[in-house]
Each structure stands twice: as C-alpha cells, then as structure tokens.
Amino acid sequence: MSQDDLRSKLSESGIPESSRSTIISSIIKHLIYGGESKESSTNIRGATDDTKSDADKDVQTALSSIDQLSPNHPLVQRIQQDTGIQDPQLVTQYTEQTLRAMKEHANENPERMRSIFRRFRSRKGEVKDQEQNLDGSFLHDGYDSF
C-alpha cells in the first residue's frame, strides 16, 4: 500500500481531513508514551536500535496490541480530547478506521510506517511545548499525504 493508498483509504472513511493527522498523532503518542501496556509503549524501536525486521514487527505488534475500542478506552478518550470531537461513538469509529489503515500500511509498507514513528520520537524530543505536536504537524515534513 502506497502513501497515496493510505490517504485515499482515510479520505474514503469519512474522517474529516482536519482530524486525520491528529488521530494518527494521538495513536502514535498512545503507543509510544502511554500505551495500554508497558510492552506496547517500550517495544517500538527504530532500525538503528535493532534489525529492520524486528523494528517492523515492533510497529505491527504495537498497532495490533490495541484491544477492543469503546468510548471508555483511554486511546478513544485521548483522541476525543485531542480532536475536540464531542460524539464518543464517532471518535471510536474514527479511531478504529485509522488503526485499520495504519495496520495495513505497516504490513504493506513497514519502512514508511517505521519512519513515521521514528520521526515522531525524534521531533518529540525537540519540542519543549508538547501541545505544539498535538495537531500531527510532525507528519508534514515529507509525510503530509495522510
């Protein structure tokens, strides 16, 4: 799946364009910094930390580790707060659709997905004001086709 395919899939999902990057950013933050388990938040490495194959598996495993979503799920609540979308059922639906697209992208194009995670981690270290990255702006440095 190419980057254009991912963008197309998300645009066909009905997710507002203004929310797509924020939802992706929130999912990555959840996995890296506040996931459901210590395993999912600490296992995502870049290729420099391990082999590319293991890093690919880490991203795929982390994305797959997110359990059944509901309005009370911490990730859904995070996305609702980050996007400002009031309807918790709609946020749950958008989160599920985005996760599905990200899983497919990680399976079809693991290097690209790993690069997005690496970029987020490196930019996160540079940003003093954590709110600055809330809108998913880290994706716009060569990854703005979501």
Domain ranges of the chain: 1-6+49-122
pLDDT tens-digit readout, 22-56: 998 899 889 888 754 433 344 454 444 444 455 55
Q: Is 24:98 a contact under the CB 8 Å cutoff?
A: yes
pLDDT of 141 reads 47
Distance CA 90, CA 71 (A): 9
Can you tell me the mean pLDDT for 88-105? Answer: 94
Distance CA 11, CA 59 (A): 23
Q: Indicate whether 146 pLDDT > 50.
A: no
DSSP-derived letter for residue 36 is S
